[in-house]
Amino acid sequence: GAGVSQSPSNKVTEKGKDVELRCDPISGHTALYWYRQSLGQGLEFLIYFQGNSAPDKSGLPSDRFSAERTGGSVSTLTIQRTQQEDSAVYLCASSLDEVSSYEQYFGPGTRLTVT
Amino acid sequence: DQQVKQNSPSLSVQEGRISILNCDYTNSMFDYFLWYKKYPAEGPTFLISISSIKDKNEDGRFTVFLNKSAKHLSLHIVPSQPGDSAVYFCAASARRTGANSKLTFGKGITLSVRP
Chain B: residue whose CA lies nearest to A34: B102
CB contact under 8 A, B49 and A102: yes
Least confident of A9-13, A41-45, A75-79: A41-45
Give per-residue pLDDT as tens, A24-70.
999 988 889 999 999 878 889 999 998 878 888 999 999 999 999 98
**Chain B 47-66, residues with CB within 8 Å of chain A CB atoms:** 49
Q: How far apart are CA B17 and CA A30, in angstroms?
A: 40
Chain A residues within an 8 Å CB radius of B43: 4, 6, 91, 93, 106-109
pLDDT for the residue B100:
64
Q: How far apart are CA B53 and CA B57, in angstroms?
A: 11
The Cβ of residue A31 has, within 10 Å, a number of other Cβ atoms equal to 22
- Mean of pLDDT values over A76-104: 87
The answer to whether the beta carbons of residues A91 and A107 sit under 8 Å apart is yes
Reduce the secondary structure of B64-109 to three states and give it as a string. EEEECCCCEEEEEECCCCHHHCEEEEEEEECCCCCCCCCCEECCCE
Chain B: residue whose CA lies nearest to A55: B100
- How would you classify the pairing of strands A10-13 and A110-114? parallel
The answer to whether the beta carbons of residues A20 and A82 sit under 8 Å apart is no
**Which pLDDT band, with edges at 50, 70 and 90, does A11 fall under?**
very high
Per-residue pLDDT of chain B (115 residues; tens, 9 = 90+): 789 999 999 999 999 999 999 999 999 989 999 999 999 888 999 999 999 999 999 999 999 999 999 999 999 999 999 999 999 999 998 876 555 678 899 999 999 999 9
pLDDT for the residue A93:
93
Q: How near does any CA of chain B get to the CA of A105, in Å?
A: 7
Chain A residues within an 8 Å CB radius of B4: 42
